Amino acid sequence: MLVTQDTTGIVLSNTIFLLARAPEVWSRLREEVAGIGPVEDWRSPDLKNLKLLHNCIKESLRIHPLFHANGRVATTDTTLPTGGGPDGTAPIFIPTGTRVSTNFYTLYRDEAVFGQDINSFNPDRWNYISPSSWEFMPFSHGPRSCAGRHKALGETSYIIARMAVQFERIQSRDDRPWTENVKIGGEEWKWLSCSGAPRIMGNSMPSARFYERKFFYIALSNLMCIRI
């Protein structure tokens, strides 16, 4: 089972990293979030209906997968329907004890499934693509998929939506590219500046600057007085 305490922070950090470089998407996201009314009236179904928000999260998970690869060991002789032959369309025999790995970076860059501009952050691609559960499985798939996936996605959705309410714009002031730090999952470290005079504990604050990192969502929740 793919389990790690860092998943929410990593998904959130990577999504904000990409949104900070896509101001047009951020503006549209703010408009979408504004359409569900005041924060105090939000309910879980409201967040689930934010299509652009979820497209952004899925696109982030596609570009920067939480888990780079996954493996299984065949416990019995198995024959897969495709994967063999010169063009990969013939059946392939997997003997008992064989380790089979899936590389998610490669899987999520299949233009036949995800379309063109495969290395670009384009949340709108999810309006016209429909990958199967085995073609896009950011939390794995099947009986041993991540048990906390709904919690991670729910927390990520809520915090990004709250940021969209609080901040008119987010901007990275660090031009260095995304840099992977491989542990159990991938994480990224960046400075991020937010502006838009968020109100914190009754006082206006012109800007906020914090470090994008695993667990930074905890600091952000304290900063913005979010209950998660």
- Report how far apart, in Å, the C-alpha atoms of 33 and of each of 153, 181, 213 are: 16, 32, 24
Tokens 């063109």 correspond to: 116
Predicted local distance difference test score (pLDDT) of residue 56: 98
> Residue 199 pLDDT more than 70?
no
What's residue 78's pLDDT?
94
Interatomic CA distance for residues 227 and 140, integer angstroms: 28
pLDDT in tens, 109-123: 999 999 999 999 999
Band (149; pLDDT cuts 50, 70, 90): confident
Q: Is 225 annotated as a binding residue?
A: no
Summarize the confidence of residues 167-189 as an average pLDDT: 70
Q: Computed over its alpha carbons, how large is the radius of gyration of the chain? A: 19
198's tokens: 């968020």
Q: pLDDT by residue (tens digit) across 34-92? A: 999 999 999 988 999 999 999 999 999 999 998 888 888 999 999 999 888 988 899 99
Mean pLDDT of the chain: 80
Cβ-Cβ contacts under 8 Å for 78 (sequence gap 6 or more) = 93, 94
Distances (CA, A) of 67 to 18, 91, 134, 177, 184: 18, 27, 15, 19, 8
Q: Where are the domains of the chain?
A: 7-66+102-223
pLDDT tens-place string over residues 20-42: 999 999 999 999 999 999 999 99
Residue 1 has pLDDT above 90, yes or no: no
Q: Looking at 74-177, which runs of residues are DSSP E strands?
A: 78-84, 90-94, 99-103, 169-172
Confidence of residue 171 (pLDDT cuts 50, 70, 90): confident
3-state secondary structure of 95: coil
Pick the closest to residue 135 from 116, 98, 109 (CA basis).
109
Give the CATH H-level superfamily of domain 7-66+102-223.
Cytochrome P450 (1.10.630.10)
68-99: b or e for each residue (b if 16 or more CB lie within 10 Å)? eebeeeeeeeeeeeeeeeeeeeeeeebeeeee
